[in-house]
Every structure is written in C-alpha cells, then in structure tokens.
Chain A
Amino acid sequence: MGKATTSARNGTFLGRLTGSKNGLGLIFMLPAATFLLCFLTYPLGLGVWLGFTDTRIGRAGEFIGLENYIWLLDDPVFRLSVFNTILYTSVASVLKFGLGLWLALLLNEKLPMKSLFRAIILLPWVVPTVLSALAFWWIFDSQFSIISWILMKWGWIDTPINFLGDPTNARAAVIAANVWRGIPFVAISLLAGLQTIPASLNEAAALDGATSWQRFRRITLPLLTPIIAVVMTFSVLFTFTDFQLIYVLTRGGPVNATHLMATLSFQRAIPGGQLGEGAAIAVAMIPFLLAAILFSFFGLQRRKWQQGGAD
C-alpha cells in the first residue's frame, strides 16, 4: 500500500479531496447539511422574508422593508400580545419550576409504589395538548365549570365564576392550564438530576451537622443547577411559543387579553389573510427566544467545579 496509491490519488481533484481529512469530512457532512438546509433553513428563511413583504393570501407580495415592523410597533394589540406573552411565560415558568422541583423532591424520597407515581406524574405531558385543552375548556366553562359547581355546593360563591370571560380570570386560567401541562417535564427532568447526586453526599452533610434545609440549600440545589439551567431554558422556550392551549381555550380573548405572539401571528396570517404581517409578528419572537438561550448559555455555563483537570 502507501506510496503508489497516494500519488495516484493526488492527480485528480476528487482524489485530492478524498485524500485530505477536511475534504473527506465535508463530503460526509453534505447529506446532513442538505437536509438541514431544506427543512430548517428554508422555512425559517421564507418566514423572515415574508416579514419584509406585504404578501396576502392569494397575492404575491412585494418587498416593503421594515414597514410591517414599524406598523406593528404602533399596534396596541401587538404590544398587548408581547406583554401577555412575557407575563404568561414568566408566571408559568416560575410556577412550573417551583412546583416541579417540589414534586421531584417528593418523588426522590423512599415511597411505596414509586414507579406508579412517576408514571402518573407523566400523564399530563403524554396526553395530546388539544385534548387536555378541551378538558380545561370544560373545567373553565362559564356555566358548567366543575370548580364553580363545587364552590357553590360549599356555599363559598353564589354565581358561577366567569373563568374565560374576564380578562384577569382568563389570564390566570390559561396560565394554570399551562402549568398543569408543563410540570411533568420539569419534575421528571429534575428527578433525573436528583438521582445523579450520590446519597453519600447527603449522609456526609447530615454527619457534618446539616439540617434538612441546609442539605437542600448547600448540597442538593448547587449540584442541581446545571440540570435546572437546561430544563428551565427548554421550559421557557416551550411556554413562550405556546399556541395550542390558548387557541383551544380562548382564541386570544376576551378582548385580546390572552393573545400571545404566536396566536396573534396565526390569527393575522391565516384567518386574517395578512401573511406578511403574521410572519413579522412571528419573527419578532426570535429576539426574545435568542435572549433566553443566550442567558442560559452564558449565565448558567458549566461551573468551575464541574471541569476536571486544569487549575
């Protein structure tokens, strides 16, 4: 082998390409790159392009620059939807984190029928969103709500609560539904993180005189932060781009009080026919999402203690 083949290969361009490590790597990456280009970059690129045009359904648009965005900046409904999205994401994420962590800590204890409980916890996540949204729609119904019915039976209220008709109630209701649906992901992921913490660390801390709160604060929580960072980044992204729950429960109402950017974008683009404007609203979500990703990337990077070797 060796010399003869090498020199023969060196002759042609293809030979040189396959001969070099980088060239060969490029060839091997081509299929994946093509795939990504077609199915990821093209739709994203088309969306961004549409945002710069005045395309409507049934009419090819023209490039109008930033006109869509300038117009949206003055649109009170769009501004309200941004506010709603931020409120929805922050309140729901905080609740999901708190309740999810609490649930994970409970499930990490020695319980009888542990695996059964864990399976049950996963249910809200496994059920199709539309299905659970329909269930919540019924739970929040203005006349037949089971919550109102029970509270009335107990004599706490006289008339049914108008869950989805009142702006404040509606916001609380959709957040509650989102939290219910999002907890399993947070709880199960954090539980997986908890189980990587060796029991001997907690035992050592107990011997060192730590109370259970101190063990949680000084051992469990710091060791869990890397997992928390990843899980909460994902949770925030999912929540920020949520569509299904809102669309089934309120369609953005009442009076746009629960319109998120995703639902507003859909409403403007498809039922409203303004493809360009809808695309611009969707594109306006990207900076927020990037900010969330960058926050978790820089703010919650691997800590020094997680890195081995070097000083």
Chain B
Amino acid sequence: MATVGFRNVRKAFGSVEVLHGVSFDIEEGEFVVLVGPSGCGKSTLLRLLAGLEHISSGDILIGERVVNDMPPKERDIAMVFQNYALYPHLTVGENMGFSLTLANRPKSEIAEKVGPAAEILGLSNLLDRYPRQLSGGQRQRVAMGRAIVRDPQVFLFDEPLSNLDAKLRVSMRAEVKNLHQRLKTTTVYVTHDQIEAMTMADRIVVMQDGIVEQIGAPLELYDSPANLFVAGFIGSPAMNMLSGRIDPDNSSRFISKEGVALPIGRPLVETPKGGAIYGLRPEAMRLGGDVRLKVEVVEPTGSETHVIGRLGGVEVVGVFRDRIEARPGDEIGFSIDTTATHLFDAASGKRVSI
C-alpha cells in the first residue's frame, strides 16, 4: 500500500496538451475514482501513473518515490484494462500467475498465490479454461485476479465495467468495492459513469478538459457542487438549470428568464453581479405546491415517477416518490425542498454560497 501524488502534471501529445496541470493526493488505502466525460484526460492520467505514457512536466509520486522516469514494471502497480487484456493463449491460472512466471518463481509458490486469489473471486474451478471460454463477468474477474496476485502498491482500474451488461455491472460494482474493503490497497478507478463513481468512491475527482473541476467525497459533490459542470455531471437524472436573476426586492427569491419565481431558502449573503443560474435537483421537487409544471412525459419506474415537463418554457425533470397519473398537457403543482437548492454565478459558473 502506498500514497499517490500528482504535482502539476501536464501531458501533451504533439502540440495538443490534454492535461493542464493536475495536482492532488491520494491517501494510503483510499479508493479514488476519476470521473468525467470522454476526452477529459482521466484515462491519460491513469496511464501516466501506470507508466504507459510519459509525463510532459510535473511529478508523479508513488509512496515517497518520484516515478516520472520509472518503467512500468518497476512501479509495483497492477492495472485492470477496459478490454481486460487477458493473454488469450494462457489459461486462467497462467494468466493470473503470469507476473510470477516472469519473475521465475517456483511452480509451488505460483499455485500458492493464485489459489487464494481465485478463491476470493470464485474462479477456482475455471483455472484451466482459456479466456475465450469465459463470460464477460468471468473475464473481468480474471483480470482482477491477475492484479490481486501481484499484491501491488496501487490498483488501477481503467473503465473495467463498461463492457458488461447493466445487471452484471451493478453486481461487479459491489464486488470491486468488497474487494477493496478486504484488501485495503490504494485504488485509482477511472470511469465515465457517475453512478459508479458515487457508489464506489471514498473520494471522487471530477475532471473536464484536462483540469480537475472538484475533488471530494461523493455526497459532498452531490450536496455542494463547486460549479455548473460538477452540478450537471453528478446526479441522475441531471440537475435542472434555470437561468435568470435574483429578485432585486427579495434576495431569497430567484426569478427565471421566463418569469417563474423560485425560492432560494435563505437571503443571500452576496448576490451575483450579473445573472444567476438556479440549480434544481429533480429529487428536491415535492408534489403539491404553487410552482406549476406543465407535464410532457410521465415515466413511472415503480419506486418513483419521473416527470418531464416545462417550467415557464424550460424543460425540467422531476423525480417524485408518489405515483402520478397526469396526462401530457396537464399541470401539476410542486414545491421545492429549499435545503437542496443550488445557485451559480452565470458569468463564472461558480457556486454562490447560500
């Protein structure tokens, strides 16, 4: 186990810089998820940490060592690839023990280490199969098994669940988390799926266009997103955004461009100079109230009902615990849980503290 540090890390491919100075630290045994849309640089950052790409400037530390120029095999890290990267010509057992075979360890020692790892992952009776003969979920587990056998300082996961179907993804999510709780190895996990990030991470690093937008615990990001990007990225369905301004006569009221008045909760300490953007979580809407929503689509999911409608012309999604039997064109009234509203400066996109 080790800490990991990024110090002003930059990476350019040719003349295109894809990471513009990333700095943060990962504590020993921590499970950190790098999340962001595709092209945000999260996978590049992971590959820099693995040593598969060369850093352009800055420092990467594993433990106390600066590893900038260290080849991958000396970094003592294990990586699970998106396509699993299992060696097709080796059996499951040989795949898992490959690193030990390379190091010329005796057969008995390899079996000793592969056995328990296979046990943990439920692969014990598949050790003689070839990767071709396995299902997606089993291949995924072999890839993790190969990492476990290494007993590395740091585990790296590069979108490991994105090739699995939805149901398997949910169960593997729990398995990965379980594994981390059992082994307590420092883990860096890359995904574009904010639900994976929210459910698995000790801390989430949200990235966009090669910079870190916000770092924090999952609920911290959900409850107080630092800017519009994080607000829109974390949470599903995504936060509704309405642009407008603070009511000049009542600083605890927001008036959208379309003239809809929405409560902020408390009077503002400082009002944004220009316009403001009101962030409304779909879950913060409660049935019954005087804000009118013109229904367009009703999506019952069983446990809750998603209503897509228009709030003064702006499309808004609401999530209600109630079963709603509204027809398109109907109007429903709702109120807003003002402890969960967000306000952003329209010019800078930064959060305005309420």
The interface of chain A, by Cβ under 8 A from chain B, is 198, 200-201, 203-211, 214, 218-219, 222-223, 303-311
Q: By the criterion CB–CB under 8 Å, are A208 and B73 in contact?
A: yes
Give the secondary structure class of A's interface.
helix
Q: How far is the CA of A205 from the CA of B95 in the complex (A)?
A: 10
Asked if A208 and B150 sit within 8 Å, CB to CB, the answer is yes
Contact A306 B85 (CB under 8 A): no
Is B14 part of the binding interface, using a Cβ–Cβ cutoff of 8 Å?
no
Q: How far in angstroms is the closest Cβ of chain B from A302?
A: 11
Q: Which of the listed residues A200, A203, A208 has the most CB atoms from chain B within 10 Å of its own CB? A: A208
Q: Tell me, in angstroms, the Cα distance from A310 to B129 when the chains sit together.
A: 10
**23 A/B residue pairs, CB under 8 Å, sorted by A:** A198-B83, A203-B85, A204-B79, A204-B85, A206-B51, A207-B50, A207-B51, A207-B72, A207-B78, A207-B79, A208-B102, A208-B146, A208-B150, A209-B73, A210-B102, A223-B89, A303-B89, A305-B88, A305-B90, A305-B131, A307-B132, A308-B133, A309-B133
Other CB < 8 Å A-B pairs besides A203-B79, A207-B73, 20 of them?
A: A198-B83, A200-B83, A200-B85, A204-B79, A204-B81, A204-B85, A206-B51, A206-B52, A206-B72, A207-B72, A208-B73, A208-B146, A208-B150, A209-B73, A218-B102, A223-B88, A305-B88, A306-B88, A307-B132, A308-B132
The residues of B that contact A204 with a CB separation of less than 8 Å are: 79, 81, 85, 87, 146
B133 touches A311 (CB 8 A): yes
Bound CA–CA A273/B279 (angstroms): 97
Contact in complex: A206, B71 (CB < 8 Å): yes
CB neighbours (8 Å) of A210 from chain B are 73, 102
| B205 smallest CB distance to A (angstroms) | 22
CB distance from A305 to the nearest CB of B (A): 4
Q: Is the CB of A311 within 8 A of B87?
A: no
A311 pairs with B129, CB closer than 8 A: yes
| Complex CA distance for A203 and B43, rounded to whole angstroms | 14
Q: Which B residues contact A (CB, under 8 angstroms)?
A: 50-52, 71-73, 77-79, 81-83, 85, 87-90, 98-99, 102-103, 129-133, 146, 150
Shortest distance between the CB of A179 and any CB in chain B (Å): 30
Bound-state CA distance A218–B87 (Å) is: 9
Q: Which chain B residues border A219 with CB–CB below 8 Å?
A: 87
Report the separation of the CA atoms of residues A210 and B103 in the bound assembly, to the nearest whole angstrom. Answer: 8
Instruction: Say whether B98 contacts A208, CB under 8 Å.
Output: yes
> Which of chain A's residues have a CB closer than 8 A to the CB of B52?
203, 206-207
Contact between B89 and A305, CB atoms less than 8 A apart: yes
Task: For A310, list chain B residues within 8 Å (CB).
Answer: 133
CA distance A203 to B49 in the complex (A): 13
CA distance A308 to B132 in the complex (A): 5
The CA-CA distance from A249 to B116 in the complex, in Å, is 66
Shortest beta-carbon distance from B210 to chain A in Å? 22
Contacts of B90 in A (CB 8 A): 305
A137 to chain B, nearest CB (A): 45
How far apart are A31's CB and chain B's nearest CB, in angstroms?
Answer: 39
Contact in complex: B130, A305 (CB < 8 Å): yes
With both chains docked as a complex, state the minimum distance between the C-beta of B227 and any C-beta of chain A, in angstroms: 34
Chain B residue nearest in CB terms to A303: B89
Partner of A201, one of B71, B72, B87, B99: B87
Chain A: CB-nearest residue to B83: A200
B residues less than 8 Å from A218 (CB atoms): 98, 102
CA distance A200 to B131 in the complex (A): 15
Contact B73 A206 (CB under 8 A): yes
Does A214 lie within 8 Å of B102, measured CB to CB? yes
Q: Which residues of A contact B130 (CB under 8 A)?
A: 304-305
Which one of A207, A304, A308 contacts B77 once the chains associate, using CB atoms below 8 Å? A207
Chain A residues with CB below 8 A from B129, complex form: 311
Whole-angstrom distance between the Cβ of B338 and the nearest chain A Cβ: 49
Cβ-closest 9 pairs across A and B: A200-B85, A204-B85, A208-B99, A209-B73, A305-B130, A308-B132, A305-B89, A222-B89, A206-B72
Taking CB atoms, residues of chain B closer than 8 Å to A307 are 132
Note all chain A residues with C-beta closer than 8 A to B89: 222-223, 303, 305
Closest to A307 in B: B132
A206-B72, A304-B130 are known contacts. Are A200 and B98 too (CB-CB below 8 A)? no
Q: Specify the chain B residue showing the minimal Cβ separation from A197.
A: B88
CB distance from B19 to the nearest CB of A (A): 19
Cα distance A219–B71 in the bound complex, in angstroms: 19
- Chain A residue numbers with a CB within 8 Å of B78 are 207
Q: How far is the CA of A305 from the CA of B258 in the complex (A)?
A: 64
Report how far A207 CA is from B153 CA in the complex, Å: 12
Distance to closest chain A CB from B114 (angstroms): 13
B79: A residues at CB distance < 8 A: 203-204, 207
Q: Chain A residues near B133 (CB, 8 Å)?
A: 308-311
Asked, given contacts A306-B132, A311-B133, whether A209 binds B85 with beta carbons under 8 Å apart, the answer is no
Complex Cα distance, B130 from A223, in Å, reads 14
B71, B82, B130: residue with the most chain A Cβ atoms closer than 10 Å: B130
Query: In the complex, A210→B150 CA distance in Å?
Result: 13
* Assembly CA distance A201 to B90 (angstroms): 12
Given A303-B89, A311-B133, the answer on whether A200 and B81 have CB atoms closer than 8 Å is yes
Chain A residues near B98 (CB, 8 Å)? Answer: 205, 208, 218
Name which of A198, A210, A211, A306 has the most chain B CB atoms within 10 A of its CB: A210
Most buried by A among B83, B85, B99, B132: B85
User: Known: A304-B130, A307-B132, A311-B129. Contact between A203 and B81, CB under 8 A?
Assistant: yes
Closest residue of chain A to B78 (Cβ to Cβ) is A207
Look across to chain A and name the residue whose beta carbon is closest to the beta carbon of B98.
A208
Bound-complex Cα distance A78 to B73 (A)? 58
Chain B proximity of A47: nearest CB distance (Å):
42
Cα–Cα distance between A218 and B102 once the two chains are bound (Å): 9
B132 and A209 within 8 A (CB) = no
Q: Which residues of A contact B99 (CB under 8 A)?
A: 208-209
Q: Give B65 Cβ to nearest chain A Cβ, in Å.
A: 17
Q: Are A209 and B81 in contact (CB under 8 A)?
A: no
